[in-house]
Structure 1
Amino acid sequence: MTNSVLCIIYVDIEHILYIQHNFLAMFTKTLGATSAHLLTALAERNQLVFSITDAQEILGGSYNAALLALGRLTEAGWLVRLTAGRYAIVPLSSGDAALPQVNRYIIARELLGESPYYISHESALDIHNMLTRPITRVIATTPRRLKKREIMSMSYRFVSAPLSSLWGYESNWVTPYEQVNVSDLERTILDCLNRPDLCTGISQVAVGLWMRQDDFKWDILGHYTQKLGRHSVAQRLGYLLELFDLGTPSLIENLQKMVASHYASLDPFLPAQGPYLARWRLRINIEPEALETIVRT
């Protein structure tokens, strides 16, 4: 190992120790020794979401004592209660002693508890590096009916769907320590084509297709489209694939077989205007040139 590498490691260790010292000093001054010990221990474990039992284990007292301590920290704004018995640390905004931000997708997973789910639509685009703008909401698909939540300036929206429609997803690492369920590339595109309003419009779907064009399994995309059985999705997908010269001839041929007799809008959440395209039974309410400019910019 070279001296430069040793130096970097040494500096990193010193920085970590400095941050941990600041954690303890600042928290003890503002919260008291017990609360400071709890927050510092959780941060050192990278356990930003935790249970009452976790807190009890760290504090070493009774369950009720841990519950009271968590109640005080929540009231003071240091913690946020996610579900019954589950809490997340609220990060400090800045400074060397700032707590790290809890991953938004981990919070979504915690809000759902034991319910089946997958992170979907524009949130899945984000995880798969198919999104070109910051997001202010997290979307998950689940059979469970949940109201929208606002937690730490992030909106959490849950799309209700029958259990039988939860397919085409995988486990994905969103931190070095935590995984969530997220729709795979192919299912992500289909979900967004089905609900463009949940992924900022058809133009973002086109961007995602273009950005990850080398990673799609076109045969799986075709199989998924047939399994989903939505004619409008097949029509939009076929149009975009032809516009950007993507996919395979067999996929285009199979999508053509799914074209319905009635017309659908390319983006159903934009005004119903523009020319009709008979090949895909679509009303093209976004100019192709505009889509190409957005995708290639």
Structure 2
Amino acid sequence: METNLRTLGPNETKVVLSFREQGREVVRAAEIIDLLGSEQTGRKVIRNLIRKGWLSRLVGGRYMLLPPEHGPENIGENNMLALASAVIEPSYVGWWSAAAFHGFTTQKPMAVTVAVLRQARARLIEGSEVRFVTIAEQKFFGFKSYNVYGRNVMISTPEKTVIDCIDRPELAGGPAELARIIYSAMSEIDAVALADAGLTMKSTSLLQRLGFLTDIVGKPLPEETRQRIRQAIPKSTRSTLGRPKRKEGDLGYVAAWGLFVNARSEDLLAEVPRLRSGKEA
């Protein structure tokens, strides 16, 4: 009779317990081979552990350990945030994926987006797409470890999540979804920390979008923070939000922030709760 229960042979037990005792969540093939003292034995054990549900393949000789606490049945690892963030070090889950984790959107992104410092191609892991986005080192900050279903996962902080989404709206579901994320986030995050993160990115266009978007969703920055942002924007600088070219009905130039908005107000606010009789819907 076939069984879906996870079993272990002697060498497999040695591998699982050794790395579990070290508190390891990710292991490399070379480490398993070193532990067992034989490449042939090590490779065989790795194949067996994958087949039996004790290891989940990440990338090129890198595996996530599914310890005894994972349960007796071979059901694989379904914690996609943990799998995605474990592929490359250093890295962090960001943009739309982080916004969903922090509860700033009810949408579930089709792919997990991960910030990295070196280029890496997208991968399918356990049937789900993981997209790696290379960013400059000066933007690689503002993340920490969160416990996600018992796994330690590097995810951008709430404030940095919003800033990353403003920096790359296409990675946050587009302008309308970005507006919804900002609307939801502004009641939960620290405006000073948000401004600090924005200023650290050293992007004028980001600061212009930040000021405009917080205004249009009805969650303006506190006056002191607002002035900090304004002072960091050169008066002659202009940037764009939305489609490449302006169309009839678009908001156009917003003088307060030196921003050309190539989108209609109703489109930007399509996912944002509207005001009805002076109360939020």
Q: Does the alignment reach a TM-score above 0.5?
A: yes
Matched, 1:291 2:265: no
Counting only pairs closer than 5 Å after superposition, residues 11-160 of structure 1 correspond to structure 2 as 26-27=3-4, 34=9, 64-71=40-47, 81-88=57-64, 99=75, 101-112=77-88, 115-160=89-134
1:216 to 186, 189, 197: 189
Identity of aligned residues (%): 24
The answer to whether the Cα contact below 8 Å between 1:263 and 1:282 also exists between their aligned partners in 2 is yes
Please name the residue that 2:241 is paired with.
266
Task: Provide closer, same or farther for how the CA distance between residues 259 and 294 of structure 1 changes in structure 2, counting only shifts above 3 A.
Answer: farther
8 A contact 2:245–2:262 mirrored in 1: yes
Structure 1 match to 2:277? none
Q: Which runs of 4+ in 1 moved over 4 A?
A: 31-35, 47-56, 60-63, 72-80
The correspondence for 1:189, drawn from 162, 171, 175, is 162
Show the counterpart of 1:7. none
2:242 partner SS: coil
- Name the structure 2 match of 1:225: 198
RMSD: 3.8
Q: For the Cα contact (< 8 Å) 1:263–1:281, is it kept in 2?
A: yes
In the aligned structure 1, how far is the partner of 2:141 from the partner of 2:191? 17
Q: When the two structures are aligned, how many residues end up with a matched partner?
A: 257
Whole-angstrom distance in 1 between the partners of 2:264 and 2:253: 12
Give me the whole-angstrom Cα distance separating, in 1, the residues matched to 2:183 and 2:235: 26
- Where does structure 1 lack aligned partners over 5 or more consecutive residues? 1-23, 91-95
Q: For 1:186-206, what per-residue CA distance to the aligned partner results, in whole angstroms no more than 9, with x for missing partners? A: 211111111111111122222
Report deviation, 1:233: 0.9
1:165 is displaced (CA, Å) by: 2.8
Q: Please say if residues 241 and 260 of structure 2, whose CA atoms lie closer than 8 Å, have aligned partners that are also in contact.
A: yes
- Higher relative contact order (CA closer than 8 Å, sequence separation 6+): 2
Report the alpha carbon displacement of residue 67 of structure 1 after superposing the two structures with TM: 2.0
C-alpha contact (below 8 Å) 1:83/1:110 kept by paired residues = no
Q: Contact between 1:141 and 1:161, CA under 8 Å: does it hold in 2? A: yes
**120 and 287 in structure 1: CA distance in 2 versus 1, 3 angstrom threshold:** same
**Residues in 2 aligned to 1:148 and 1:168: alpha-carbon distance in whole angstroms:** 23
Q: Secondary structure at the match of 1:276?
A: strand
Aligned partner of 2:86: which letter?
E
Shift of 1:292: 3.2
Amino acid paired to 2:79: N
| C-alpha distance in 2 between matches for 1:245 and 1:76 | 51
Q: Is the 2:176–2:270 contact (alpha carbons within 8 Å) kept by the matching residues of 1? A: no
Q: Secondary structure at the match of 1:147?
A: coil
Q: What secondary structure does 1:82 align onto?
A: strand
State the TM-score, normalizing by the size of structure 1. Answer: 0.70
* Residue identity opposite 2:240 in structure 1: S
C-alpha contact 1:272 1:285 (8 A) present in aligned 2: yes
Segments of structure 2 that go 5 or more residues without pairing to the other structure are 67-71, 274-280
Query: Residue 148 of structure 2 corresponds to which residue in structure 1?
Result: 174
Contact 1:48 1:102 in 2 (8 A): no
Mapped contact 1:232–1:259 kept (Cα < 8 A)? no
8 Å CA contact retained: 1:108, 1:156:
yes
What is the TM-score of this pair, normalised by structure 2?
0.74
Partners of 1:281 and 1:180 lie apart in 2 by 38
Match of 2:226 among 252, 260, 278: 252
Q: State the alpha-carbon separation in 1 of the partners of residues 7 and 102 from structure 2.
A: 42
